Amino acid sequence: MIFLLAWIAMLQSPSSGAGIEPLTLADDRACTADGTLCVGLTQQARDGEPVFNPVVRAPTALPTGPKEALGEVETYRPWSGLIRLSDGGFLAGVEKEASSLYSGGSGHAIELRLYRLDAEGDAASAPVLSVPIQGAVMIRACFTEEDMTRRAEACHDNYSFKGVLTVEAGVEEGGLPVLTYETTATAYPRGASRSEDSLEKPPLKPADLVAMRDPKCSFTRRFTFDAKTGEYQPNGPLPDCSDYTTP
């Protein structure tokens, strides 16, 4: 129940913040509040694999596409945010969602791929930024009644990740706005780790039945655009948070 409530709250909270125009997802597109512009997806093939890029158009000029484009193991949809650029172009995104189901558990993760679009609303072939924005993993931890007792009846390890992008107002580098990426990662119960066997740890106490913030994967980075590489670069290395972002 704790995992379910946390997951619902995470889905309801936005993955974009200040300086990013919110979009409403409906059918095969995500549109501005006044309905004058919408972001849709176009599909291409690269090395035999489907690639989905965003496109910005007036609603009547937007190509028709599926609400959620399907890859082999992922689904793709427009990001629910839009950044307007000083040159008349945009930063628009594609959310890549991956899910896994297994005995007694499940995993879910979303990666944001941000593209630069020109004033006509057409995207470059490659994203300028790719970062995880959501992750939730639930792993079964009880297999016997003895396990239930040792775990104080907390029979799943739960991992949660949230990443939020914001725009620094009036600040540009390399011709694009500076972005701030802030993440929060938690693990439940206290001491949970995907790289360790929970049943080899001491029995849980009531005080352990809390979601603990992971300081390594709860961080803030400032991203600036590097015109030479055509990508946003962080002001520090990004830690490995695959425990939270790999289903």
Query: What would the pLDDT profile of 176-209 be if each residue is shown by its tens digit?
Result: 999 999 999 999 999 999 988 887 889 999 999 9
* pTM confidence score: 0.87
pLDDT digit string, tens, across residues 19-76: 899 999 988 899 999 999 999 999 877 777 778 899 999 999 988 765 555 555 689 9
Q: Residue 113 to residues 8, 95, 145, 186: CA-CA distances in angstroms? A: 23, 6, 44, 23
Q: Are 232 and 224 in contact (CB under 8 A)?
A: yes
Q: Are 190 and 2 in contact (CB under 8 A)?
A: no
Break the chain into its structural domains and give their ranges: 2-237
Half-sphere exposure (Cβ direction) of 174: Cα atoms closer than 13 Å: 17
- CA-only gyration radius of the chain, Å: 20
List all residues 6 or more positions away from 64 whose beta carbon is below 8 Å from its beta carbon: 28
